[in-house]
Amino acid sequence: MSDVISREQAFINARRVLDLARERRDRDRAAGRLDPAAELILRRIERRQAAERATQTASAPLRSAA
């Protein structure tokens, strides 16, 4: 008989695995062990996310005033 896990538990498990992978990546990055190409990709993603956050923050007062 196969065990069935709930959707919520599946998400919890996936989140845990992703968090562990992210922590390892961050440790490798801090120690300078990350491939230069991967570092470049991460920097581009971080810049894009920062720009998106800035756009959301700038448009937040407009949404609340409506």
Q: What pLDDT is attached to residue 20?
A: 98
d(CA 14, CA 18): 6
Summarised one tens digit per residue, pLDDT across range 20-58 is 999 999 999 999 999 999 999 999 999 999 999 999 888
Q: What pLDDT is attached to residue 5?
A: 94
Owner of token pair 């949404």: 63
Please classify residue 42 by burial: count the beta carbons closer than 10 Å to its beta carbon, then call 0-12 exposed, 13-18 middle and 19+ buried. Answer: middle
Contacts of 1 by beta carbon, 8 Å cutoff, 6+ apart: none
Q: pLDDT confidence of 1, banded at 50, 70, 90?
A: low
d(CA 55, CA 20): 30
pTM beyond cutoff 0.75:
no
